[in-house]
């Protein structure tokens, strides 16, 4: 990932910024997410039933679990402008869960910079496209426009 600063970030609009390492989505991670959110739908947590009844042949990760991976994977990639004292999640646009992530799949994040808007006090509203890829699958798990507020 290139070194991005408040002064140079606009130079990267329209460009891919990088790709994270692969992350495994195992049943334990899915179960922990279910426990945190209270979403215990069988397609996520009942391994035996999902193996028998699910059109996916087993359990799948929650869509919001895949969305929740954007922030830590982007941070791992270094997607914070140099000189920022803080970067805040400002929201998401056009989130689409394209392909279910099956328990045992590995995923990684691709980030491209879509736009940068100056805000008050030197802050920047950064819009990026986040695509979560599934290993050995031609279709992404999720595509979303992510908004972040960078504070100098």
pLDDT digit string, tens, across residues 119-147? 999 999 999 999 999 999 999 999 999 99
Q: To which H or E segment does residue 102 belong? A: none
Task: Please tell me the predicted confidence (pLDDT) of residue 78.
Answer: 80
Q: To which H or E segment does residue 90 belong? A: strand 86-97
Tokens coding 131: 């695509």
Task: Please tell me the predicted confidence (pLDDT) of residue 1.
Answer: 67
Separation CA 9–CA 60 (nearest Å): 36
For residue 59, which of 74, 77, 47 has the smallest C-alpha distance?
47
Q: What residue segments make up the domains of the chain, in order of their start?
A: 9-24+61-151
Please identify every stretch of the chain with a pLDDT value under 70, giving residue numbers as ranges.
1
Q: Please give the model's pTM, rounded to 2 decimal places.
A: 0.91
Match 């922990």 to its residue by tokens. 32
Task: Please tell me the predicted confidence (pLDDT) of residue 134.
Answer: 98
Q: Decide which of 3.90.550.10, 3.10.129.10, 3.40.50.300, 2.40.50.140 is the CATH code for 9-24+61-151.
A: 3.10.129.10
Separation CA 50–CA 120 (nearest Å): 50
């Amino acid at each position: 990932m290139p070194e991005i600063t408040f002064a140079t970030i606009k130079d990267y609009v329209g460009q891919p910024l990088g790709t994270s390492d692969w992350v495994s989505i195992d049943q334990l991670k899915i179960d922990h997410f279910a426990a945190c959110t209270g979403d215990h739908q069988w397609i996520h947590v009942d391994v035996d039933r999902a193996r028998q009844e699910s059109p996916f042949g087993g359990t799948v990760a929650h869509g919001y679990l895949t969305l929740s991976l954007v922030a830590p994977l982007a941070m791992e990639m270094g997607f914070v402008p140099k000189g920022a004292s803080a970067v805040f999640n400002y929201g998401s646009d056009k989130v689409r869960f394209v392909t279910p992530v099956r328990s045992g799949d590995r995923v990684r994040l691709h980030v491209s910079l879509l736009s940068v808007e100056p805000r008050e006090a030197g802050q920047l509203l950064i819009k990026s496209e986040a695509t979560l890829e599934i290993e050995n699958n031609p279709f992404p798990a999720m595509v979303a426009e992510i908004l972040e507020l960078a504070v100098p």
